[in-house]
Amino acid sequence: MGFYLYPIGQTVYTDTDGEEHIIDSSELVAGTPVLVAGPSFDEDDSEYDQTFTASKAHGPFVWVVNYSAGFGPTSINEVSFNPPPKVEVEESCEFAVANG
């Protein structure tokens, strides 16, 4: 059975002029998953990183989603968010796994 990661919600940030901006989750571009760690045993999951980006006038917004997939159900382990400098993030989108 296949699966995919997808963003949910929106990211709200304020620039240096105090103006609020919104990045809808549909604006994020998904990169190709990268294998971080293979399974130690046949029934272990592999660990992957997948990058999602949004390019805005204030710079690139980058999310790296670390997840496990393989023998067991796919699960998200961690999401790292790297906004551009000099913006204040009030809310960040989240990520989920869909089976398809």
Find tokens 């393989």 and name the residue: 70
Does the predicted TM-score (pTM) go above 0.85?
Answer: yes
| 36 to 6, 27, 50: CA distances (angstroms) | 19, 26, 10
pLDDT-based confidence at residue 100 (cuts at 50, 70, 90): low
For residues 16 and 49, what is the distance between their CA atoms, to the nearest angstrom? Answer: 31
| Per-residue pLDDT tens over the stretch 50-68 | 999 999 999 999 999 999 8
**Per residue in 57-99, pLDDT tens?**
999 999 999 998 887 788 899 999 999 999 999 999 999 998 7
Q: Which residues contact 57 (CB under 8 A, 6 or more apart)?
A: none
Q: pLDDT tens-digit profile of 9-50?
A: 999 999 999 999 999 999 999 999 998 987 777 667 888 999
User: Is the per-residue pLDDT at 1 higher than 50?
Assistant: no
Contact 54/29 with Cβ under 8 angstroms? yes
